[in-house]
Amino acid sequence: MRLQHKLLNWFHKNQRPLPWREHYRPYEVWVSEIMLQQTQVETALPYFNRWMKILPTIESLARCGEKKVLKLWEGLGYYSRARNLHKTAKLIMEKHGGEFPNDYDAILSLKGIGRYTAGAIASIAFNQGKPIVDGNVLRVLSRVYMIKTPEQFSASLPRSAGLNLRYARGSARIRTNIWDLEESLIPKGQARFFNQALMELGALVCTKDNPRCGICPIRRFCVAFKNNKVANYPAPKKRKKIVKVTASALVISKDGKFLIHRRPEGQIMGGLWEFPEWKLARNQKISLAEIKEKTTKLVKNKLGVETIGLKHLGTIKRNYTHHLETLYVFLAGTIDRHKSKVRTAESWLSSWVGRKDFRRYPFSSAHAKIAKLLA
Ligand code: SF4
């Protein structure tokens, strides 16, 4: 039995029951694929279910306000993805009469949809033979064919490995890339299930650490397994050096309300709300006393307020694109006459908000924790 048949049989018996697999509606496949970029299925599921309950159609998403869209996305990170979903829904309403386009090039031209997502929507929603290569697929194919640098490679691919012989006869040496290789494996009319089967195998069996080769349905086709070299594939990526950042955030209140800002569009996490925050140091050790001193100066310079002491409320760690940030949260003690004078940067929308209303504002996950702390 060929690799493809083994894999398809395995998928039909072992796939996880996921909501976007019930009807394969393009809108659901699209939203799930965007949510699943750099997020585990278990984390994305409650977000997906809540999203579909509130925004069940492209039309409802297009009509929704951006603040609500970002609120539904709160905690998933990469907020430009939520904004792109929103913009693209509006465009689909205008240009495609609310129907998700099924033409691959039309899908690829949509904002926020790259080669991977276009392939996922075309194959999973519309069952078209378009390739998908995510981290899971790349890992599986790299091991099955013993390919160290899967982006562009030259290798001898054995006929027995189940390759659709578009590129090679027998075990001829071929030069190709991982996308073309994946596409050449898709059995006719089976793109929807085959692409998902490869991804599912990577997620459940051929995992990064401790692959379960003993129960793998395609181990007899797997060259790395036969050669006892699974641990060597794929070659590890060079990691970027981590930048350590120290930052402080300020909780300042007036008449029971707290000052929050909206980050301008075009900035990282644009459109999200946060308590006033400043970066204080990069890759440098800094004591709590120094952090307080720097923050006090910034509060005076940036907000025009004299503080009479900062109370350390807590510390939050967060990661974003090779940055590891330690955020110190302070409660500002201020002289009452200064509170009315608080000023904020012109390009930043500011608001004084009561505890109960925090839930209406989309915060980044670190600032959502501060809001929770206060609420
Ligand atoms: S045999 Fe092992 S390494 Fe090969 S595809 Fe299966 S799980 Fe992955």
Asked which of 168-172, 187-191, 204-208 is least confident by mean pLDDT, the reply is 168-172
The pLDDT of residue 249 is above 60: yes
13 pLDDT tier (thresholds 50, 70, 90): very high
Spatial distance between the Cα atoms of 21 and 23, rounded to a whole number of angstroms: 6
The pLDDT of residue 170 is above 80: no
Asked which of 152-161, 307-316, 339-348 is least confident by mean pLDDT, the reply is 152-161
Q: Ligand 1: which of 143, 145, 208, 232 to mutate, judged by most atoms within 8 Å of the beta carbon?
A: 143
The pLDDT of residue 176 is above 50: yes
Catalytic residue (one of 33, 183, 274, 277)? 33
- Give the residue, 325 or 267, on which the prediction is more confident: 325
**Domains of the chain with bracketed CATH:** 3-232 (1.10.340.30), 243-374 (3.90.79.10)
Spatial distance between the Cα atoms of 334 and 296, rounded to a whole number of angstroms: 11
pLDDT tens by residue, 35-84? 998 789 999 999 999 999 999 999 999 999 999 999 999 989 888 899 99
Q: Ligand 1: which of 3, 11, 200, 213 to mutate, judged by most atoms within 8 Å of the beta carbon?
A: 213
Considering the chain, what percentage of its residues have pLDDT values greater than 70? Answer: 88
Q: What are phi and psi of 119, to 5 degrees?
A: -65, -40
103: left (phi over 0), alpha (psi -120 to 50) or beta: beta
Residue 292 CB–ligand 1 contact under 6 Å:
no
pLDDT at 255: 83
Sign of CA dihedral 70, 71, 72, 73: positive
pLDDT at 10: 98
Q: What is the largest CA-CA distance in the chain?
A: 84
Asked which of 141-155, 334-348, 356-370 is least confident by mean pLDDT, the reply is 334-348
Q: How far is the CA of 184 from the centre of ligand 1 (A)?
A: 20
pLDDT tens by residue, 211-243? 999 999 999 999 899 999 999 998 887 888 999
Nearest residue (CA) to ligand 1, atom 1: 219
160 pLDDT tier (thresholds 50, 70, 90): very low
- Give the residue, 365 or 11, on which the prediction is more confident: 11
The pLDDT of residue 316 is above 80: yes
The pLDDT of residue 263 is above 50: yes
Active site annotation includes 33: yes
pLDDT tens by residue, 121-148? 999 999 999 999 998 999 999 999 888 7
pLDDT at 321: 80
In residues, how long is the chain?
A: 375
pLDDT tens by residue, 91-106? 999 999 999 999 999 9
